[in-house]
Each structure stands twice: as structure tokens, then as C-alpha cells.
Amino acid sequence: MRRTWLVVLGMLPMLQAWAEVRTAPGPACLDARRMAEMRQPSPGTLAVLDQDGRRFRIDLGTECPQADEPGAQLLARDGWVCGGAQEYVSAGEALCPVSGVTAIDARAYAELARAAVLAQDDMETMEAVQVHEARRRGFGGSYSYCFSPRYLRSWSEDPTGLLVELSPKHSGGNRFYRVELAGSCPELDSSPAIVFRSGMDIGLICGNPGDQIVAIDNRVPAGPALGPALRFRCNISAVYPHESTGPADTAAN
């Protein structure tokens, strides 16, 4: 009898793993049980990041301005939100129907997340829901679309903008971020050093209004008014984790 119980108990972890495997009913379906972050850029739109790093835009059938407040939930059969019938956002006493779910990339998610934070700051509402994390008051950012320049390791320039490398340990597990510029910045070609400046003075670079790259060229004297080095300022338009695994990334690894 003891041997039989040992065999059964030894199989329990395997049986539990099988029970936890969930297969999405469609390619653009969100598992509400694995939601990591939810933000609301407009009363009829939500941006959701799941625990596997996938990103989604959820369109609501009606305006639901409190969908990102504490206690808000996604309700759907078996926990799958796909944009079909009988899917809702429960926020307080409101029950808002989901009209569509779209899988989006890191750039699109960052744009929605920035819009959500700016809208909430203007309306002086509570910060977007951060699932499994401590909530913070006031204007802030997330490593899902921001990075801290204090952990910068290196940077390189290409036609899209800049690719920056950071410490993954201090950047939410993200090693590379893409930084897009609002316009051309030829000074970067000859700049031996750069400094990132946060327009919101939050210590994070998110693509918010006022975020800049300051290109410093110590080889060109600028006089006492500008200091010992010539400085060029380049406005940042977008920041998001770099998802490509092309040859450049392989070489960096």
C-alpha cells in the first residue's frame, strides 16, 4: 500500500501541471487570469499586458471611465477575453461589454500606456491598475514602456532612432529599448556622449512630452554661456522594449 501511495503522490505535481495548461480559443484571446497590467487611455479603450509579455488593446462597447480603478475585473467564460459575447469589464456597479480584442506590439502598447498616464494626470484620478505590484500615487511610469537612464550600458544609432542596452535586472527583464526621435538629430553621429533628460522629472524616459537626448561634444568649445561642451537637444517621441531577435541582437548577446 505504501508503494502505491508513493507512486500517486509522485504524479501529483505532473497532474497539477497538466491541469494548469490553458489553450486559448483564438490567437487574439487574452487570459484574464494572467493579466499583469491594465491601463485606460480613453473611456472606451483599455491596454493590457499579460504575464507572458503579450500586449492587447481592448475596445469597449460603451464608455467605462472607471475600468482601471482598483477592483476592476475582466469577466468572460473560462477567463478568456476574445471580443465575443458575454465578455465584460466589471468596475464598481458598472458592467461594460467588451466589443473587441486586438493583439498589439510593444510600440502600440507604449503609445496607449503613455496616453493613459497623461489622461489620468490631467483628470487627477488614481493611477492605472498594476496587478501583483504595489500601487504608487502620482505621475509615474512602467518598465513595460519606460527605462531608467541610470542603468544605461550602451547605445547605437540606426535609421529608426536609437537602440539602448540596459541592465535587465533593473529594467523589468528588458535588456534593449527602442528610442524614436521626433525629428532628425544629425549631431548624434559625432557625439561621443549622450545624456537622457526626463521632461516630467520622474527619472524615467517614456517618450513623454519634454523627454530629450542631450548630445554632448567635448571637442567643440561652446563658451561660458553653454559650459565647457557643446550640447544638442533631440526630442524623444516614443520608447518601448525592443522585441526583435535579429543578427544585431544575437551579436550583442
At residue 3, the pLDDT reads: 42
At residue 161, the pLDDT reads: 82
At residue 220, the pLDDT reads: 55
At residue 250, the pLDDT reads: 41
Pair (153, 124) in one structural domain: no
For residue 77, name the pLDDT band (cuts at 50, 70, 90).
confident
For residue 224, name the pLDDT band (cuts at 50, 70, 90).
low
Pair (248, 205) in one structural domain: yes
Give the Cα separation of 172 and 182 in Å (integer). Answer: 26
Pair (118, 190) in one structural domain: no
Domain contains 12: no
Pair (72, 102) in one structural domain: yes
The x, y and z cell numbers of residue 171, run together, are 529594467
Domain contains 103: yes
Pair (155, 122) in one structural domain: no
What's the average model confidence in pLDDT over 81-105?
91
Pair (105, 50) in one structural domain: yes
Q: Could you tell me which residue, 44 or 231, shows the higher pLDDT?
A: 44
For residue 183, name the pLDDT band (cuts at 50, 70, 90).
confident
Domain contains 173: yes
What's the average model confidence in pLDDT over 163-189?
90
Range of the domain at 204: 149-252
Which of 78, 98, 130 delimits the end of a domain?
130
Pair (201, 235) in one structural domain: yes
Residue 62, Ramachandran bin (φ over 0: left; ψ between -120 and 50: alpha; else beta):
beta
Pair (195, 168) in one structural domain: yes
Give the Cα separation of 67 and 215 in Å (integer). Answer: 41
For residue 22, name the pLDDT band (cuts at 50, 70, 90).
confident
For residue 231, name the pLDDT band (cuts at 50, 70, 90).
confident
Pair (126, 160) in one structural domain: no
Pair (154, 182) in one structural domain: yes
At residue 154, the pLDDT reads: 92
Which of 85, 103, 130 delimits the end of a domain?
130
- Reduced to 3 states (helix: H, G, I; strand: E, B; else coil), residue 216 is strand
**How does pLDDT run across 157-172, given as a tens digit for each residue?**
887 789 999 999 988 8
Burial class (CB in 10 A: 0-12, 13-18, 19+), 14: exposed
Pair (172, 217) in one structural domain: yes
Which of 130, 162, 194 delimits the end of a domain?
130
What is the tally of structural domains in the chain? 2
Q: Are 171 and 150 in contact (CB under 8 A)?
A: no
Is the model's pLDDT at 73 over the cut of 60? yes
* % the chain with pLDDT above 90: 40
Pair (118, 169) in one structural domain: no
Tell me the Cα Rg of the chain: 22
